[in-house]
Structure 1
Amino acid sequence: MPSEEPSMSRTNSDATVPPRLDTLVIGVTLFHLGSLYNDQSTMTFRRGMGTRVEIPVTGAFIEMADGEHILFDTGMLPPGWEGHAPPPRVLSMIANYGPQDDIRARLGEIGRTTDDVKMVINSHFHWDHSGANRLFDKARVFIQLSEYRFACLPDTFIEGPYIGNFLEKDRPFELLEGDRVIKPGIAVLTTPGHTPGHQSLLVRLPSGRTMIFTGDALSCPANLHPQTPPGNAHCLEHAVASINRLKMLADFLDGDLVICHDPAFWETWRPAPHCYV
């Protein structure tokens, strides 16, 4: 978690910080995109069954020096958008979602629109991470090939979070097969377990710090302890291996793990219009 926030942050009103030569990243802004109800046991394996917790839905806008700005996860599709109403089981999970939590509204807070997003990188295709992809029809979407295949035909016991009418199967995707440097300072890291093709994101800031967006590879900080893996993994063995990989990278790079569904997320991180540099 961030230990020296003042040295790696600025507001969007500050002058643009020149990027380091080894990164095109200018800054990262975090978005609050609503919240969901979840059972504690889905976050901590076999612990807290029957205890309802509220978890944030988050996204990140990455400003790039070359103008090809990136969005990591798009959040939920606004309910009822152009007839795409989520099923009742999904609506029952939404704890809070107002007009201000629409990804378009959050982009507006920093003077951006959907047209400014040139690349979308989804951690995976669950509805709370990719539901609003439809709003970015001009952006290139990066996803693991294994995740795309699984989302099109998921195992029946885990198919609930994949909503068919939200997944544009005829849209061209940038299908990745493993780890990939997308741009200087931006790399995707395969972290399967939560889903077969889950990926996390490494971002090198101009300050030299590294932000590691875990997606759902980590549900909460408790998962960093060996005896408390997440409880909603497609494959628990792969999930634990991915957690260990993220821990190692965070230690090696002295990086900050951004645990996207951490219930205490906004106690640690600052939302838009704040910008991390």
Structure 2
Amino acid sequence: MKLYCMQLATIGENHMPIPGYLIQTDEGQHVLIDTGLPHTIIAGKSIQMGPLQVRIQTVEPIMAQLARINLQPENIDYLICSHFDPDHVGNHELFSHARLIAQRTQYEYALQSPLPRFSQFRGHWDRPTLQYQLIEGDHTLLPGVELIETSGHVSGHQSVLVRLPDAGPILLAIDAITHSDGLDPETRTMSPLDMNEKMLRLSTRKLINIAQREHAKHIICGHDAEQWMRLKKLPEYYT
């Protein structure tokens, strides 16, 4: 099994990464996690992220990243939707061949919410051509790929635990823990985009407990610029 980390864009003056991930199983299945901002967005443009306006610094869309390892959207078997914020769902419409895996709570909330963070790119992920599988709570997708319900940033957010033969377990916290300074559930700060502080602290504790139980050497945070500088990025990978 291989895990690819993809930096799909950077935003803001500190070049905060917009990530995506690809898991390639030994059986030849491809599992994509999130699709970044819409491929039509160009560097230099400002976009609204909840109450924040941020400038796009760099962009390498998901299709270009996949093409670097000779994959096309139709090669993706599963698309894990961590949640429906704009920097995670911008190219879902390209993956009509895949099964999209989302927490029911988050999908139904985002579908009905008038908040711009969910509505502005709804046309990219709310399409009759997309095949959603809605789950509730923690879920084993495939051997070595486990989805972990981690509400707080949004209701029904999900993180991913990937068990690799050499690197061991790697925990993709995504937006449940966006920066390495948020690993302490008691003292971590909240961002303006976090919707439920109590649930976020509980989810942080859940992830830390899982990392300790699994002896995970890596907790990859969702938007930590310093950490992402040290990570292997596609076409390199973890095994």
TM-score by length of 2: 0.89
CA contact 1:219–1:230 (8 Å) conserved in 2: no
Matched-pair identity in %? 25
In the alignment, does 2:22 pair up with 1:27?
no
Cα separation, 1, equivalents of 2:48 and 2:197: 24
Task: Indicate the residue corresponding to 1:252 in structure 2.
Answer: 213
Q: Which has the higher contact order (CA 8 A, sep 6+)?
A: 1
Q: Mapping of 1:1-277 within 5 angstroms?
A: 26-37=1-12, 53-79=14-40, 89=48, 93-98=54-59, 101-154=60-113, 159-162=115-118, 163=120, 164-170=122-128, 171-207=130-166, 209-225=168-184, 226-231=186-191, 232-255=193-216, 256-277=218-239
Cα separation, 2, equivalents of 1:93 and 1:199: 24
Task: Indicate the residue corresponding to 1:18 in structure 2.
Answer: none
C-alpha change, 1:87 and 1:146, in structure 2 (3 Å) is: farther
CA contact 2:151–2:158 (8 Å) conserved in 1: yes
Amino acid at match of 1:31: M
C-alpha change, 1:208 and 1:32, in structure 2 (3 Å) is: closer
Please list every run of 5 or more consecutive structure 2 residues that lacks an aligned counterpart in the other structure: none
Aligned-pair CA distance for 1:93 = 2.2
Aligned-pair CA distance for 1:92 = 5.1
TM-score by length of 1: 0.77
Cα separation, 1, equivalents of 2:101 and 2:132: 6
Could you list the per-position Cα deviations for residues 244-268 of structure 1 after superposition, in whole angstroms to 9, with x for gaps in the alignment? 1111111111112111211213222
C-alpha change, 1:78 and 1:94, in structure 2 (3 Å) is: farther
Could you list the per-position Cα deviations for residues 94-132 of structure 1 after superposition, in whole angstroms to 9, with x for gaps in the alignment? 42233xx01111111122221211100011011111111
Please list every run of 5 or more consecutive structure 1 residues that lacks an aligned counterpart in the other structure: 1-25, 38-51
How many residue pairs match? The answer is: 229
3-state DSSP class of the match of 1:202?
A: strand
Aligned-pair CA distance for 1:228 = 2.1
Amino acid at match of 2:2: G
* Alignment RMSD (CA, Å): 2.1
